[in-house]
Amino acid sequence: MTIDAERKMQFLFALRSKGVTNSAVLNAMEKIDRLPFIRHYFTDRAYEDMPLPIACGQTISQPSVVGLMTQALDISPRDKVLEVGTGSGYQAAILSQLARRVYTVDRHARLVREAREVFDELGLVNITAFAADGSFGLPDQAPFDRIIVTAAAEDPPGPLLAQLKIGGIMVVPVGQSDAVQSLIKVTRTETGYNYDELRAVRFVPLLEGMGKES
C-alpha cells in the first residue's frame, strides 16, 4: 500500500470514528481529495481531522464536521442544494457528488474565484459559485431542497428558511461567535419548521455585506 493510500484509509477511518457512517457521504469524501482546497503551508495536514486557515481570514472545516453536516442533510440525487459560505470550496465539492445541482455563495470574491479554479480542475460541472451576500440566499434560484450554512448565525436566517422547499432540510450552526455554537437541523413542514440540535461546533460568524478584497 502506498503512503497516500494508507493516509486516505486512515482519513476515512477517522471519519467513521467521529460518526460519519453514511456510505454515500463516505464515498464522496473518499473521491474528493481535500488537498487541492488547501494552500501554502498547510498542505501536509490535508488528511488530518482539523480546521485549517485559508485566505480572507476564513477556515476550511475539519473533515469530520463536513461529513456530519453533509450526512444530516440527507441528500438525494435529484436535490438542488444551496451552500452559504463557499470558503475553500471543499464542502461544495462533496455536495456535488451527492446532489443534482449545487449553488454556493460567499461574500469574499477571492474565495469564489479560487474555488471555481479548483472545481474546473476537478471537472465538477454541477457547481455554480457566486460572490454575493449569502445571508440573503439566492432568491432567483429558490426554492432549494437542501441548504447548508457554513458560518454561525444567531438564529436560522429568515431569508434562508423562506427559500427552503416544504420537506426540505437546512443545516446551520447557531450561536454567538465567541461561544460554543450548536449545529441545528431544520426541517420545513406544511405547518412550520422542526428543529433538531445535533452537536456543539465552532464556526466563523455569518456576516452581512460583501467582504473586502485581500
- Asked whether the predicted pLDDT for residue 134 surpasses 90, the reply is no
Catalytic residue among 17, 61, 88, 177: 61
To the query of whether residue 182 is one of the catalytic residues in this protein, the response is no
Amino acid at 57: G
Helices (H), 18-157: 23-31, 63-73, 90-96, 109-122
Instruction: Please give the distance of CA 115 from its chain centroid, rounded to a whole number.
Output: 13
What is this structure's pTM? 0.92
Quick one: average pLDDT of 164-193? 90
Comparing 68-72, 158-162, 201-205, the range with the smallest average pLDDT is 201-205
What does the pLDDT read at residue 214? 46
What CA–CA distance (Å, rounded) separates 42 from 181?
26
CA dist., res. 160 & res. 137, Å (int): 6
Res 50: pLDDT: 86
Q: What is the pLDDT of residues 5-62, one digit of tens each?
A: 788 888 999 999 999 999 999 999 999 999 899 877 788 888 888 888 888 788 888 9
Q: Stretch 185-199: mean pLDDT, rounded?
A: 95
